[in-house]
Amino acid sequence: MRVAIYPGSFDPITYGHLNIIERGARLFDKLVIAVAHNVKKQSLFTVEERLDMIRETTQDFPNVEIDAFSGLLIDYANSKNACAVLRGLRSLSDFDFEFQMALMNHRLNPDIETVFLMTGEEHLFVASQLVRELGSFGGDISGLVPPLVHDRVKEKFK
C-alpha cells in the first residue's frame, strides 16, 4: 500500500490544490490531505473549517483521507507509514522554499521522498493568499475556488 501525504495550509482549498489532489490520488494507493496547525501563520479559516471545506470538495475521491497535524511533517508522515510527501509547484518563486523543505525532510528521513507535480497551467497563478486578498476586497474569486469555498470566503468578509 503506497501512501502519500499532501500537506499544506489549505487556507482555503483552491482549484490548484484540487488539481494536485486528483492527479496525486491516481499515483498513490492512498493520499492523505494533511492540514498543518501552523501557529506562525495567521489564518483566515480555522483548521476545522478548512478540513470541512476539503471534506466537502474531495468527496469523489475514494482513496483520499483528510486529517490535521501539528509538529514536524516528517514525523507525521512516518506515523502514517507514508512513502512520499506530495507538493505542487507553480513557479520559480515556489522552488526555493520547496527545495529547502524537501532537502530538510530528506535529511530527517531519507526513506520518505518528496514528489512534486507541476500545477496545471490553468492554475499557475492560483494561490490561497490571493484568494484571501481578493476576497477581502470583494474581488471575483469564482474561477479560483469551488462554489462552496467561494461562499465561505464571502461569508468571512461580510
List active site positions.
17, 41, 90, 128
Measured from the CB of residue 9, what is the shortest distance to ligand PNS in angstroms? 4
Binding site for ligand PNS (CB under 6 A): 7-9, 36, 38, 72-73, 101, 104-105
Q: With both helix axes pointing from N to C terminus, report the angle between 147-156 and 47-57 in degrees, rounded to the nearest 10.
A: 160
Number of C-beta neighbours around residue 97 at 10 A: 10
Stated as kind and residue range, the H or E segment containing 7 is strand 3-8
CB of 152: closest distance to ligand PNS in angstroms? 18
Q: Of 104 and 124, which CB lies nearer to ligand PNS in the complex structure? A: 104
- φ, ψ for residue 8 (rounded to 5)? 170, 180
For the bound state, the minimum distance from the C-beta of residue 80 to ligand PNS, rounded and expressed in Å, comes to: 14
Query: How far is residue 30's CA from residue 157's CA, in Å, rounded to a whole number?
Result: 35
Residue located via cell numbers 488539481: 19
Rounded-to-integer distance, Cα 142 and Cα 121, Å: 17
CB closer to ligand PNS, 9 vs 119: 9
Q: With respect to ligand PNS, which residue has the nearer C-beta, 9 or 152? A: 9
**Which residue, 38 or 158, has its beta carbon nearer to ligand PNS?**
38
Cβ at position 149, least distance to ligand PNS in Å: 15
User: 59 is written with which cell numbers?
Assistant: 468527496
Instruction: Return the residue matching grid coordinates 490571493.
Output: 130
Nearest residue to ligand PNS, scored by beta-carbon proximity: 8
